[in-house]
Amino acid sequence: MAHHQPSYYRRGTIEVWDFIRDQRLNYHLGNAVKYICRAGHKECYVTDLTKAIHYLQNDAHAQRKSRTDGTGHSRSSRHIQQTLIAEEFSEFVEAARQIYDKKFYRE
């Protein structure tokens, strides 16, 4: 099946959605990866990173909530691992954004 994927999603050797599918990322993590990969190639670098942070924070919030909602359902170790990665990556991206802001938007 032929498809058109914009150039800002095809800069490497694998298309972003193929990577997301291969890693079995959920909706929020997949969108975060999408915005990180296109950062500065479609919209403003900071805008794309801000969108990625939004999805990472949303996923981390949902995961924290689901662990404490009292349903008694256990979470898979893979799901918990993805949540921890999302939280750590969100902190990393926020630090990178602050460095970028200081470099280009000196306060």
Residue 61 resides in a domain:
yes
Angle at 94 between CA 92 and CA 96, to 5 degrees: 70
Closest to 59 measured CA to CA, from 101, 93, 107: 93
pLDDT of residue 1: 42
Rounded-to-5 percentages of helix, strand, coil across the chain: 70, 0, 30
Q: Which domain range does residue 53 map to?
A: 7-104
Answer whether residue 4 shows pLDDT above 80.
no
- Over residues 83-95, the pLDDT tens digits come to 777 777 777 777 7
User: Does any domain span residue 54?
Assistant: yes
Q: Is residue 38 domain-resident?
A: yes
Residue 72, in any domain of the structure: yes
Q: How many domains does the chain have?
A: 1
pLDDT tens-place string over residues 49-106: 999 999 999 988 888 777 654 544 555 666 667 777 777 777 777 777 777 666 665 5
Sign of CA dihedral 61, 82, 67, 95: negative
Q: How confident is the model at residue 107 (pLDDT cuts 50, 70, 90)?
A: very low
